[in-house]
Structure 1
Amino acid sequence: MDLQQMRYVVAVAETRNFTRAAERCSVVQSSLSHRIAGLERELGVRLFARTSRRVELTGAGAAFLAGARECLAAADRAAADAAAAAGVVRGRLAVGVIVTTAAVDVPELLRRYRARYPDVRVVLRSDRSDRLVAAIRDGDLDIAFLGLPEDEPPSGVRTLVLDRDQHVLVVPAGHRLAGAGPLALRDIAGETFVDFVGGTPARAQSDRAFAAAGLARDVAYEAGIVELMTGLVARGLGVALLPSAFVRPLAEAAPALALVPVVDGPRRIEYLAWSRFNPSPATRALLDVLGVREEA
């Protein structure tokens, strides 16, 4: 058994296709199939159930896949640590980000990072904050940019507070509340709302604010994409509460939207989060680009 065989197994498991897996691994299909068949003989189990149209992991294959991924990650980390000891940062950096990140210009950050560390392969994943935190704890992500309610700090990871922000009401430019002075939640509770999907940290920020005020509201439209949310608002289908630092540039570029302050509206904290257990050289390098001391 060797690392290349493990890479082949992972590629087939992820693509569910021997041809695509071979393309990903830059080998001919016959060679990949031969190496996996040899591994199956060595292990004495079948890793894949295959027909002319389908490829699926067997129970043994699923068990092997988890260990194979751990071995490959350990091998990659060993190579990265060796390179870092010689003054070269290599390897892979997995970055997570929420769609409403505002405290850091992530594309610009990654441009600067690549300019300084061209040998690091950066992968980016967008998701909700709670899943990004779980991915860091599980070792699937190295670092992430989060946004969470004030009373819900991330757990099991190292964090740095990047910004504190308050939501504003986003309404169509012709709405009766456009241009109004600071409002309270009771002034807008009767509106039809556009919001994030229920159960997500982004949605929880508004839900908790209304609950704390003893108010109910109607969320008619749920979406996970901010551009869809603001599009619904611009067309008069509802109003939304969004972080001010994120939505203000959008509103400035979109005359169809207006922002109204809400005195008792939701508040959130943006965090930088990374692993508490021995961050990789690539992670430490990103912290350095951000000007963050690891012991912070």
Structure 2
Amino acid sequence: MLDIRWLEDLVVLAETRNFTKASEIRNVTQSGFSRRIQSLEHWAGTPLIDRRRNPFELTDAGYRVLEAASETLNRLNAARRAIREDLDERNRCIRFAAPHVLSVTFFPRWIPAIQNRLGGTRLAIVSDNLPGCASAFEDGSVDFVVCLVDPSGAIFRTGGRPLPMEGCRYVTIGRERLIPLSAALENGAPLHPLDVGPRRSASYLAYSRECSLGWAVEGLIAARSDLPRLNNLYENSLADGLRTMALSGLGVAWLPLTTTHNDILRSRLVRAGSPDLDIDLEIRIYRPSHKLPSRAENLWTQLDAAAPSLILTPPEFAALAEPAAAAARM
């Protein structure tokens, strides 16, 4: 088996052209150094040093091995430097994976709060759908997953396979609410009401199958036999895309309160159904079972110790949800 030290020995020997100097540089006895060169020659199957000459010369085979050794060592050293730089960067930065909607609605409010606790620690957020976040969590490319979880657990059940976060420790750090919203008629009533009754129908704006918010909505719809027939008119993986279509009057969509509170306040969007069709969601941060880099562990320790006082409840819940709901029902 080839020993990388033999390649390093050959490079130093080719530079010094002297066994004594080379052995000193390599911090090994001259006899030990000579044995390692001989081991390399045995591996190559031919002499690499022409010892009949004074000073000695490399053989043709020696030059070929030297060229390969230099290239291999350069590439290995470059890889080692890159790995160490990546590890240093990882230790300096706490990395999160989160669905797109949380990158827009939650993190801009939450990051300043935790930066006050962590000082100058850098934070990085990878935005993806929940399966993509789960994959990043599973392969260790992020420290934490921050995601939305509904009370019924439909978000964890509907993904097609168990998510790696299930069973892992978590802390609840925020709240969100999905509300069925529609554009309004001139009298303020919803353009696409969710009036109960099997003979009624409504145009429905749905989340794409890969979107975890849609899993929560579909779980509610499946459990409510009193809802009208929903005609799936349009799909989008992003809540903002569905909001735009709802504002255009194309249908009803379950949309996050934090992204629509201004629309509700200005009556551009109104409730399409009663408050019992709302879906309350927890925002949770999940950690893996293995030990994290020191700064990530420090964050987890603080979150775990301070819960539930660190739960971020959007002011829209108190300031807008009930007044807007009352106005929409008038």
TM range (shorter): 0.5 to 0.7
Asked whether the 8 Å contact 1:192–1:237 carries over to 2, the reply is yes
TM-score (norm 2): 0.54
In 2: Cα distance, 1:143 partner to 1:127 partner: 13
What corresponds to 1:249 in structure 2? Answer: 261
Correspondence list, 1:181-196, <5 A: 190-196=201-207
Aligned Cα RMSD in Å? 4.3
- Which of the pair has the greater relative contact order for Cα pairs under 8 Å at 6+ separation? 1
> Quick one: which amino acid aligns to residue 239 of structure 1?
V
Asked whether the 8 Å contact 1:169–1:242 carries over to 2, the reply is yes
Q: Give the 3 Å change call, closer, same or farther, for CA 164–116 of structure 1 in structure 2.
A: closer
List per-residue Cα deviations over 1:177-201 (Å, max 9, x = no partner). Answer: 8379x96765797211112212332
Of 146, 168, 177, the residue aligned with 2:179 is 168
Equivalenced residue count is 227
Asked whether the 8 Å contact 1:100–1:246 carries over to 2, the reply is no
What corresponds to 1:128 in structure 2? Answer: 129
Asked whether the 8 Å contact 2:145–2:287 carries over to 1, the reply is yes
> Tell me, what secondary structure is at the counterpart of 1:191?
strand
What corresponds to 1:42 in structure 2? Answer: 72
List per-residue Cα deviations over 1:223-244 (Å, max 9, x = no partner). Answer: 233222111111111110124x
Q: Percent identity?
A: 15
Identify unmatched segments of 5+ residues in structure 1.
2-36, 48-64, 81-90
After superposing the two structures, state which structure 1 stretch, 93-102 or 137-146, moved more. 93-102
Deviation of 1:273 after TM superposition, in Å, equals 1.4
> Tell me, what secondary structure is at the counterpart of 1:230?
helix
Please state if 1:276 is matched with 2:276: no
Please state if 1:233 is matched with 2:246: yes
> Quick one: which amino acid aligns to residue 109 of structure 2?
E
What corresponds to 2:327 in structure 1? Answer: none
Deviation of 1:218 after TM superposition, in Å, equals 2.2
Asked whether the 8 Å contact 1:184–1:264 carries over to 2, the reply is no
In 2: Cα distance, 1:208 partner to 1:168 partner: 14
Correspondence list, 1:217-228, <5 A: 217-228=230-241
Identify unmatched segments of 5+ residues in structure 2.
5-66, 157-164, 309-330
Deviation of 1:93 after TM superposition, in Å, equals 1.1
In 2: Cα distance, 1:267 partner to 1:114 partner: 27
> Quick one: which amino acid aligns to residue 257 of structure 1?
L
Asked whether the 8 Å contact 1:184–1:263 carries over to 2, the reply is no
